[in-house]
Structure 1
Amino acid sequence: MKRANIIVKGEVQRVGYRDAVEKIARKLNIKGCVENFIPYDVKILAEAEEESLKRFIETIKIKKYPIDVESVEVNYKEATNEFEYFKINRGDPQEELAERFDVAGKLLYRTVELGEKSVALGEKSASLGEKMLEKQDAMLGKQDLTIGILRDIKQDTKYIPGVLSEINDLKIRYDLMEIKINKIKEVLNVLVSV
């Protein structure tokens, strides 16, 4: 077992960081405590097996609004086994209540920001939807035009079988005329040679 004395710097006071650390410690079976460390930091005493402590230290490097951990300083010692569980050492009740209000205010402000972004995205989505409808209308117009052209082509091509039949009849007549002309040539050749 090892003990890690940890100083965490950044936006870690009045943002709910100690609560987050406590939850992480409980999940990883870490014993110890966390408290605000004047003026702006947080101090953590954590005892566990070395691998669990390393995982704990990596996990507490939170960068999720409103928490922003900038650095973590760690000093290892031998465990004292003075802790039965992990707890938050709280300060003056009025200070703690003020911290809760600070966290709530920051989260409320963030919620408003996200709401505004959501409205802006909704407006963009509506605008894109309108453009898509315009394009669909244009496509339907072109589709109607194409259908009209295809109907005209169908109308024009309905006579093709009749024309093909007439061409076939002409071919047969031509073949017959060719045969008759050849016979006439033969007769003329016979007459000329006599």
Structure 2
Amino acid sequence: MPEPVLQIVIGSTRPGRAGGPVAAWFAGEARAHGGFTVEVVDLAEVALPMFDEPNHPMTGKYVHDHTEAWSEVVRRASAYVFVTPEYNNGYPAPLKNAIDYLNAEWRDKPVGFVSYGGVSAGTRAVAQLKQVVTTLRMVPVQDAVNIPFIQQFVADGVLTPNDVMTSASKVMLDELVKLSTALSAIRD
């Protein structure tokens, strides 16, 4: 049986974002942890237009090649981690757009969050995301990695974590492995 796939989705697409270094660090943690084949999915590279499918995503009747391609990417995963900043007490529009394109592809899969920002560390973005993912029947893990004052941890495109981030990532990855295993019976 092949190892389950964990997709780490970079939710910000803006130039100068910290999402790349954050995702690279977390991908390293996930690979060292084990239990998953790790893929990093950068929404800037996926480059979805604003949602343009004429049919409701629940139907799965996609008419655009970019939607079919996105569906194939998402379908491949057994679990996700959304890496997100906080923009004005919420999460970035490209992440919402990418989530909204699909429906069944997300269902019965666990999702974790690595958030970053200023004093709130992106926690308000995660609170909003949890409302959305549960509507899609995803299962959010309880624990998350929240990085306050992100500028203090990223230099020259590399995130240098503190002990709190490292231990939080392990706890979240443990939970993702457990939930992915448990939910696989429902998906199969």
Q: TM-score range by the shorter chain?
A: under 0.3
Instruction: Determine which structure has the larger helix proportion and give its number.
Output: 1
Q: TM-score, normalised by structure 2?
A: 0.26
